[in-house]
Structure 1
Amino acid sequence: MRRKKIIWHLYPPFLGITLISLLVTTVYVTRFWRQLYQEQLTTDLVKQARLAEAQINPLLNAYEYSSLDESAKYLGQQTGIRFTVMLPDGKVVGDSAYDPAKMENHADRPEFQEARKGAVGISVRQSYTLEERMIYAALPIRVKDRITGIMRAALPVTYVDKILREIYLKIIAGGLVIILVAAIVIYSITRRLSRPLTEINRGAERFARGDLSSKVPVPEAAELASLAEALNNMAAQLDDRFRTILRQRQEQEAILASMVEGVVAVDMNDRLITLNKAGSRLLMVNPEVAKGQSIQEIIRNQELQRFLQQTRTATIPVEGELTLNGLSERIIQLHGSKLLDAQGKVIGVLLVMNDVTKMRRLERIRRDFVANVSHELRTPITSIKGFVETLQSGAIYEPDNAVHFLNIMARQADRLNQIIEDLLTLSRIEQEEEEGKVTLTWKPLKTVLQAAIQVCEVRAAEKQITISLSCPDNLQARINPPLLEEAVVNLIDNAIKYSPPETAVAVTAEPATEKVLIRVRDQGRGIALEHLPRLFERFYRVDTSRSRKVGGTGLGLAIVKHIAQAHDGWVTVDSTLGQGSVFTLHLPLSA
């Protein structure tokens, strides 16, 4: 709600009182004048009726009704007043404004009834004959105390209104002048009263904005002067304190903003007190909007609520982990302690948050990698060791068995060698990528894709699988030809391995928005949806027994992923069970 200035608290009431007083006076005066003028007009009508009676009475007594009507019309023309002559029974025998023969009986008129009783009848009402509002004054015409007729004089009310309107206009004009003068005088007085308070208010507002250098003008009034001096002294003291607090706050905010850890402080009602940038990124909230809100409104997580409650009741700092489910699952490490004020009173809870999602993922990958490497190496080593022991136990002297065992040992040694070579290749790509040793140059893609297809044609021919290529001749990208060829060879080789005989593998390259897409499409049995997110992890296999049977090491797609990253790109897969898979390399076109 917008507050009004003090002048608008003083000026409208003062002006309103003046206006109301003037209005009441005007209403009273106008009513008085109307009543006075109406009474005066009624008195004049009575006098005019009495004067007309002297001329009408002889004609009425002589029953000369036609002359009587003419006389009434003559009097009406001369005076501008309507005269009506009526018999005691109410019959109209003369009228200055209308034909008496066509007029109805007036016995029901209130002024007639009063005059019929011998009094002066006064009435203000609508004329049924002239259809306008009239003022009537009726007198009895007497002959020897006998009423022989009624003499009535009338004027339209509009006549009164016309005269009063002129009076009203003069009153209104005078009133407007009075109102204008009063408004100016009252405004000047209230302005003079409110100006010092306005200056003090402006000074207080400057102090509230932090501008403590300017002083409040000291007015002449003793009470206001004391207030202004007190404000100036307060501003001088606050200036020093604010400078100190501001410096400390800036240092604190700089520290919090520079922290990698998220810092969250809540009060005893779980309302947010402080949230640094790292904390806002972890919780994905706007700190300005979230400040003052309940932590339950900001993030709905029962684990966090339990951790806050545990921290609030614990006597020592508490540690724990929190899992946040958003666009991706994140694991947050929490350190909680009670928040104390300067007197040591508990005022809330302080949380320090670390995003350990990547660390946990790396730990899981490391565990899986060690387990997978151990498993992958153990299989050929165990096989070789078993056949060596068999040969040592005498099978070496059995030529047929010895040759068979040695052939198996050779295949296992080749498999062991292939795993080691893939591991070394993957390590070399990662190292070159980290050290920035991967050289990218603008080269045509079609030559590289053709070379990759040639490498895989022999194996494709064994399964009667055809490999097609669709790539514009002029399509270029920033690539490392040997690495890109190796990635495409791995993708084509996988497509051949997991496709049934007499099918087709399609390799396409096409430009897209700011990138080039290289796709390898097969007609295999496809990959289930739950395996797609982990498909490019090292040694991850969808079907372990089938993968080993077709000779895979489990490192080919991991090599493809790192080659794509070395090209500042990425690799994706789309697959539907029973319909095959599509692996896509996304290579950026920007230099």
Structure 2
Amino acid sequence: MAKRTRLYWQLFIPYLFIILFALITVLLYSSNVLEEILLKQTESDLHSQVVLFQERLSGSLPPDSRADDLCKTLGGALPTRFTVILPNGRVVGDSDKDPSRMDNHLDRPEVASAISGKTGVSTRFSPTLGKRMMYLARPLFSRGMLYAVVRVSVPIDSVYGRIKGVQNRILLGGLVVAVLAVLAGFLVYRRVMRPLTQMQEVAGAFGRGEFHRKVPLPDTEEIAQLAETLNSMAEEIQQRIRTITLQKKELGTVLSSMSEGVFGVDRDERIMGMNRAAGSILGCDPSETRGKTIQEVFRLPSLQEFVKKGLSGERPMKEEIEIDVYGERQRALSVNCTPLRDEEERVTGALVVMHDITELRRLENLRRDFVANASHEIKTPLTAIKGFVETLRDGAMEDPQAAQRFLQIIQKHVDRLAALVEDLLSLSRIEKQSERDEILLEDQAVQPVLLSAVQLCRGKAEARDIRIELACIEGLKAKIDAALLDEAVTNLLDNAVNASAEGKTVLLEAEETETEVLVHVKDRGSGIEKKHLDRLFERFYRVDKARSRKQGGTGLGLAIVKHIMEAHKGSVTVESRPGEGSIFTLHLQRASTGENMQS
């Protein structure tokens, strides 16, 4: 990142350079002009003096020692050096030196110019005097003949001293102007920076989400326009954030209320978001999945492979897969994967929607099983009836004993069909009433219902020397439909009698807990293996099919009990161990009015 410079230095440095450049330019220009003016003035003075000197010298031509005396006389009175030089370059008179000891001046530029007939002017350092001098030389003619060159000169160090003084004053004035300019620039900087600093502070507040802050409008039109733009931008951003937040909440509400599991992944197979249903299906916490790879979130190879296919594909995909989440029962999922695209139609990720169809699969299996079992249960007695009827038609009617036996068998199968149809109708009626909430539950005594069920089953039990014992307090009440509860208890007692060996006892017991009323049916039969318990209340499911049919069961008794208990807003549970018997328990709601009387 490039080093940033403060606005003050960005304004001050160029400003200072401009001032210094202007100062130096003025200084050089004024020095040159002043030097030119002073040198012209000095040259003009020398020209006047050389003319006067020529007039004095023209009376003593050709020049001789009198010329030297005249030079010294004038040189003593004036700060000017006078020199007389013959055309051959020999010096015959000088106000400062002995002419006889002076060099030949024929090589001097001003002398050479004067010999040629012109006025010569030269400025140079004089090694004789050790000063910087201005020389002016004119030829001295008489009757058309060049007799001598008259030269006058003055030191010009004073001229440059005056120029230096002027330069010092200009420098001092320039420095004063520069200092004032810097101070003025600093005041301008502070005036400009004050609203900019306020803008910076309010912009920082915008960055923290404090959009209620406003930038003050300064007097400067341009900066005021910038402040108005910032305020308008803040209002627009605030409105957009509100809209986005509202949309995000609505989307979150929709996703959280969906029964389908939804999660998104990017191109790197990292989770971008997940709803609660997906977390429940996959056995993870949605709040802890963001940014993690799918391999970290769930170890389900089939689902991982499906997501990879969805990311590599160009079209939506749909597939049904089965998963086993951390040892739980296997789940069936219908999974849809739709690619996510950016503005350039490039795939940036995928949206995965999971429908848990485990229950649908189970219900479909139940439906198939029910159709198959019902068909089988109906077909078996019908086949037997048809066979015996054909046998009777083929001549068995002529044998009264055989005919009577066949008719008894036909009667038995007809009774079985009638019982099966009656149980199916009863089951259908209970389901229909339960779905429509047509079953009225009232606070009623439980003991009379249990006594009625015992009376119905006692004859069958006594025929096998099985004793039914009832344990129930007289005032125990629960929310029940007496007829339906009677049917449920009767079915359980009938099963218990069928499962018990001769001479055993079946116990029917009712008790009340803090939350519910329990009705237990206990037998001392052969018991039920654990693998059958989960399916025990399914329609037509039998633990021992041969024994059940031999005893005349339809396979619907426990299914009816289950639906009766669901209609009671309760449930039925079972505990059983092979060789130790079984305990079926009905869970009922407690009575809502009064307290149960105990006797």
1:544 partnered with 2:545: yes
Specify whether residues 462 and 206 from structure 1 end up closer, same or farther in structure 2 by C-alpha distance, changes over 3 A only: farther
Q: Which residue of 2 aligns with 1:530?
A: 531
Aligned to 1:322: 321
Task: Return the alpha-carbon distance in structure 2 between the equivalents of residues 198 and 261 of structure 1.
Answer: 52
**Aligned counterpart, 2:206:** 207
1:480 has 2:489 as partner: no
CA–CA separation in structure 2 for the residues paired with 1:277 and 1:202: 41
Question: Between the two proteins, what is the percent identity of the paired residues?
Answer: 46
Q: Which amino acid aligns with 1:497?
A: N
- 1:70-102 per-residue CA deviation (whole Å, 9 max, x = no partner) reads xxxxxxxxxxxxxxxxxxxxxxxxxxxxxxxxx
1:109-508 superposed matches below 5 A: 203-204=202-203, 206-216=205-215, 235-236=234-235, 238-326=237-325, 327-508=328-509
Residue segments in structure 2 that go unaligned for 5+ positions in a row: 1-193, 593-599
Q: 1:590 Cα deviation (Å)? A: 6.2
Listed one character per residue, the Cα deviations across residues 143-177 of structure 1 (whole Å, up to 9, x for unaligned) are xxxxxxxxxxxxxxxxxxxxxxxxxxxxxxxxxxx
Alpha-carbon distance, 1:242 to partner: 3.1
SS across alignment from 2:534: helix
C-alpha displacement at 1:253, in angstroms?
A: 3.8
Compute the displacement of 1:323 (Å).
3.0
Conservation of the 8 A alpha-carbon contact between 1:265 and 1:272: yes
**How far off is 1:298 after superposition?**
2.5
Identify if the C-alpha distance between structure 1 residues 294 and 386 changes in structure 2 by more than 3 Å, giving closer, same or farther.
same
Change (3 A) 1:396 1:266: same
Letter in 1 for 2:522: R
How many residues are paired up?
398
Shift in Å at residue 288 of structure 1?
2.8
How many Å separate the matches in 2 of 1:305 and 1:589? Answer: 49
Question: Which position in structure 2 is the counterpart of 1:22?
Answer: none
More off after superposition, 346-355 vs 501-510: 346-355
Which stretch has the larger CA shift, 264-273 or 573-582? 264-273
Secondary structure of residue in 1 paired with 2:210 = coil
Report if the CA contact (8 A) 1:510-1:517 is conserved: yes
What TM-score, normalized to structure 2?
Answer: 0.61
Aligned amino acid, residue 318 of structure 1: M
Shift, 1:357, TM fit: 1.8
Task: Work out the CA distance in 2 between the residues paired with 1:355 and 1:538.
Answer: 24
What secondary structure, in the 3-state scheme, does the structure 2 residue paired with 1:534 have? coil
Select the structure of larger CA radius of gyration. Answer: 2
In the TM superposition, residue 201 of structure 1 has moved relative to its aligned partner by: 7.5
Change (3 A) 1:396 1:205: farther
Q: Compared with structure 1, are the counterparts of its residues 258 and 478 closer, same or farther at alpha carbon in structure 2 (3 Å cutoff)? A: closer
Deviations 1:529-550, CA, capped at 9 Å, x for gaps: 0000000000001111111111
TM-score by length of 1: 0.62
AA paired with 1:373?
A: A
Within 2, Cα distance between the matches of 1:306 and 1:319?
Answer: 13
Distance 1:446 1:590 in 2: 14
SS at match of 2:384: helix
- Aligned to 2:428, what secondary structure does the other structure show? helix
Query: Partners of 2:197 and 2:570 in 1: how far apart?
Result: 66
Residues 574 and 582, structure 1, Cα contact 8 Å, conserved in 2: yes
- Structure 1 CA distance, aligned partners of 2:200 and 2:535? 67
Tell me if the contact between 1:517 and 1:586 (Cα under 8 Å) persists in the aligned partners: yes
* Amino acid aligned to 2:354: M
SS at match of 1:585: strand
Relative to 1, partners in 2 of residues 1:203 and 1:278: Cα closer, same or farther, differing over 3 Å? farther
8 Å Cα contact 2:443-2:591 kept in structure 1: no
Which one-letter code corresponds to 2:348 in the other structure? I
Is the 2:517–2:589 Cα contact (8 Å) retained in structure 1? yes
Which amino acid in structure 2 is aligned with residue 451 of structure 1? S
Q: CA deviation at 1:211?
A: 3.1
Return closer, same or farther for 1:446/1:244 CA change in 2, 3 Å cut-off. closer
Write out per-residue CA displacement over residues 301-324 of structure 1, whole angstroms, 9 at most, x where no aligned residue.
Answer: 111101111212233221112334
Classify 1:201/1:497 alpha carbon distance in 2 versus 1 (closer, same or farther; 3 Å): farther
SS at match of 1:292: coil
Name the counterpart of 1:567: 568
Residue 312 of structure 1 contacts residue 349 of structure 1 at CA under 8 Å; is this kept in 2? yes
* C-alpha spacing 1:265/1:399, structure 2 compared with 1 (3 Å): same
CA 200–469 in structure 1, closer or farther in 2 if over 3 Å, else same: farther
Give the deviation of 1:237 after TM superposition. 5.1
Compute the displacement of 1:553 (Å): 0.6
Partner Cα separation in structure 2 for residue 248 and residue 564 of structure 1: 45
Question: AA paired with 1:356?
Answer: I
Is the CA contact (8 Å cut-off) linking 2:449 and 2:482 kept in structure 1?
yes
Calculate the aligned-residue CA RMSD, in Å: 3.0
Q: Residues 514 and 590 of structure 1 are in contact (CA less than 8 Å); yes or no, is this contact kept in structure 2?
A: no
Cα offset, 1:466, TM superposition: 0.6
C-alpha distance after superposition, 1:43-67 (max 9, x if no partner): xxxxxxxxxxxxxxxxxxxxxxxxx
**Match of 1:320, as an amino acid?**
E
What's the offset of the Cα at 1:300? Answer: 2.1
Q: Which amino acid aligns with 1:479?
A: I
Residue type at the aligned position of 2:302: E
Q: CA deviation at 1:474?
A: 1.7
Equivalents in 2 of 1:449, 1:202: separation in Å? 82
Aligned positions of 1:508-523 closer than 5 A: 508-523=509-524
| Alpha-carbon distance between aligned partners in 1 of 2:240 and 2:299, rounded to the nearest angstrom | 39
Deviation at 1:359, TM superposition (A): 1.3
The 3 A distance-change label for structure 1 pair 247 and 432 is: closer
1:239 partner amino acid: Q
Q: 1:396 to 1:346 in 2, by over 3 A?
A: same
Structure 1 residues 198 and 546 mapped into 2: Cα distance closer, same or farther (>3 Å)? farther
Distance 1:208 1:332, change over 3 A: farther
1:271 alignment partner AA: R
Q: Whole-Å Cα distance in 2 between the matches of residues 254 and 522 of structure 1?
A: 52
Partners of 1:446 and 1:473 within 8 A in 2: yes
